[in-house]
């Protein structure tokens, strides 16, 4: 049994990260024969992509994916720690699984992802949630087959969580959720330690993948007909800063664009590491989508300092305005936290003012949620939840107004859309995303799925557009 330790997770060791090739021991490759699995994913794209690896590993073991959780032989929850409600969802699901396990004794339940890296969570699993049969963490995802085998051999709760990241694992199998859009990790972990955030503890220190491995993966995707890649990392602009090399995010973006993949996206960008060279490259290559997620978190320089974000309101706005000026037709989205400890009415007004200035195309807004062991959870917080909810409502009213206004400006224009699929109502009711990452619904033949087509915008809503297929 290996349990998580925050003390170890906090340390940033200097050891060189080496690359290790994924290998599944041949002796266990029939373990899942004739059995079904169901993976439930919470959290961010990083977790979604990890689940694509988990599914592929399970299928190598012979398991078959089931769309019905209740009847599956193996259920894995890939969890998220970012806010309390993410926790609650996973614990709620564990409650449901307890009942299910009472009726089906042979059901196997596993838990992984960011919650597995939390000391408190694993402690609860050991003492209260005995229905969980095995736990593995974010640093040893590739060990799933072995952790599962250990559980099956011993039939005792198996917990294997490493608190210090190990090597970079290359060559893990992947079962991609889409045949035309793909996630490609370019880095793991985060060294920023924003004071409210648990990610540096759950994902470890920043480790960039080697450019050769990333480009090889993208080229294979191009060969397989993929239309879009999203380069993933908690802090993609810091790509390469953990190597002693001059090859940085702008160079990687340029090389990925040169593979001629029709669409390149990347997330998430921390304003701190956003260079002028990156802006130039994004503006230069038409296949790098003019859509940037640029989390601001707060419009108050005082709160930004308490958050450890390393920029002031003015510096953020300078970057924001530069991006808008240099990249034609760019859309910018953001994340904002309200009710950070000590946020005054005046601080909040600064956030509203910033939202009015930036007129974001999209924004994810959250009430601050204290996370175990982070620096901010020790700060005094006197604002009531009711007040925080009021602030969130006020902020949402403003950001929503601009989503709609920005969308309305597109009515009558023709936009390029990568067609994702059809909705549940019917096979001809298609949807996709524009260059600027706006959801658009329109009618068309199913055969358009996976293609980039032109759609004329006919109507605008707050969170989506309606259109007509024109070509």
Query: Where do contacts with ligand SAH occur on this chain (CB under 6 A)?
Result: 82-83, 196-197, 234-235, 268, 270, 295, 297, 335, 337, 366, 368-369, 371
- Candidates 296, 259, 278, 325; CA nearest to 395 is 296
Angstrom CA distances, 94 to 124, 156, 189, stand at: 12, 18, 27
Interaction of residue 235 with ligand SF4, rule CB under 6 A: yes
Give min distance, CB of 201 to ligand F3S, in A.
Answer: 9
Q: Give the whole-angstrom CA distance, residue 131 versus residue 350.
A: 47
Interaction of residue 82 with ligand F3S, rule CB under 6 A: yes
Interaction of residue 4 with ligand SF4, rule CB under 6 A: no
For the record, the structure tokens of 323 come out as 């991006």
User: Residue 209 or residue 270: which is nearer to ligand SF4 going by CB?
Assistant: 270
Q: Exposed, middle or buried, 164 (CB in 10 Å: 0-12/13-18/19+)?
A: middle
- x-or-dash string of contact with ligand F3S, 41-60, rule CB under 6 A: --xx-xx-------------
Interaction of residue 192 with ligand SF4, rule CB under 6 A: yes
Interaction of residue 199 with ligand F3S, rule CB under 6 A: yes
For the record, the structure tokens of 437 come out as 């990452």
For the record, the structure tokens of 243 come out as 């190597």
Residue 43 binding: pick among ligand SAH, ligand SF4, ligand F3S, none (C-beta 5-8 Å cut-off by kind): ligand F3S
| Residues 6+ positions from 226 with CB-CB distance below 8 Å | 179, 180, 181, 182, 261
Residue 438 binding: pick among ligand SF4, ligand F3S, ligand SAH, none (C-beta 5-8 Å cut-off by kind): none
Give min distance, CB of 190 to ligand SF4, in A.
Answer: 3
Give min distance, CB of 45 to ligand SF4, in A.
Answer: 12
DSSP string, 255-316: HHHTTT-SEEEEE---GGG--HHHHHHHHH-TTB-SEEE---B-S-HHHHHHHT-S--HHHH
Residue 337 binding: pick among ligand SF4, ligand SAH, ligand F3S, none (C-beta 5-8 Å cut-off by kind): ligand SAH
Contacts with ligand SF4, residue ranges (CB under 6 A): 190, 192-194, 197, 199-200, 234-235, 270
Binding site for ligand F3S (CB under 6 A): 43-44, 46-47, 80-82, 113-114, 198-199, 202-203
């Amino acid at each position: 049994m290996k349990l998580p330790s925050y003390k170890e997770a906090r340390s940033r060791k200097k050891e060189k990260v080496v690359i290790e090739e994924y290998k599944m021991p041949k002796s266990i490759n029939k373990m899942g024969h004739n059995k079904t699995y169901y993976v439930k994913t919470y959290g961010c794209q990083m977790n979604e992509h990890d689940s694509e690896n988990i599914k592929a590993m399970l299928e190598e073991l012979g398991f078959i994916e089931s769309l019905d959780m209740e009847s599956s032989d193996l259920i894995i929850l890939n969890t998220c720690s970012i806010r309390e409600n993410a926790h609650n969802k996973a614990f709620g699901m564990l409650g449901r699984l307890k009942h299910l396990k009472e009726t089906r004794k042979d059901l196997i339940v596993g838990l992984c992802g960011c919650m597995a890296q939390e000391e408190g969570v694993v402690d609860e699993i050991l003492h209260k949630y005995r229905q969980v049969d095995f736990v593995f963490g974010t640093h040893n995802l590739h060990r799933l087959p072995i952790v599962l085998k250990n559980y099956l051999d011993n039939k005792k709760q198996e917990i294997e969580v490493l608190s210090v990241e190990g090597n970079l694992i290359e060559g893990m199998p992947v079962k991609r959720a889409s045949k035309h859009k793909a996630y490609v990790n370019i880095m793991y972990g985060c060294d920023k330690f924003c004071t409210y955030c648990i990610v540096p503890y759950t994902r470890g220190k920043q480790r960039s993948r080697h450019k050769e491995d990333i480009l090889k993966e993208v080229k294979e995707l191009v060969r397989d007909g993929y239309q879009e890649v999203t380069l993933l990392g908690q802090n993609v602009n810091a790509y390469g800063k953990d190597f002693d090399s001059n090859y940085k995010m702008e160079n990687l973006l340029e090389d990925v664009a040169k593979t001629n993949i029709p669409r390149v996206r990347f997330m998430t960008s921390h304003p701190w590491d956003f260079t002028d060279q990156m802006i130039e490259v994004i503006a230069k290559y038409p296949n790098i989508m003019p859509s940037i997620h640029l989390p601001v978190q707060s419009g108050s320089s005082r709160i930004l300092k308490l958050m450890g974000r390393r920029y002031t309101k003015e510096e953020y706005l300078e970057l924001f305005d530069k991006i808008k000026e240099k990249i034609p037709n760019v859309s910018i989205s953001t994340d904002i936290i309200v009710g950070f400890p000590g946020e005054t009415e005046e601080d909040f007004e600064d956030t509203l003012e910033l939202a009015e200035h930036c007129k974001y195309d999209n924004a994810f807004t959250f009430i601050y949620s204290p996370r175990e062991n982070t620096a901010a959870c020790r700060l005094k917080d006197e604002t009531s939840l009711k007040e925080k909810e009021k602030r969130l409502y006020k902020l949402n009213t403003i950001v929503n107004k601009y989503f709609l206004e920005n969308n309305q400006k597109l009515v009558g224009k023709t936009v390029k859309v990568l067609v994702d699929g059809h909705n549940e109502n019917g096979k001809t009711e298609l949807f996709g995303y524009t260059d600027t990452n706006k959801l658009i619904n329109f009618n068309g033949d199913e055969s358009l799925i996976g293609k980039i087509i032109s759609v004329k915008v006919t109507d605008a809503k707050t969170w989506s557009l309606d259109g007509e297929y024109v070509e």
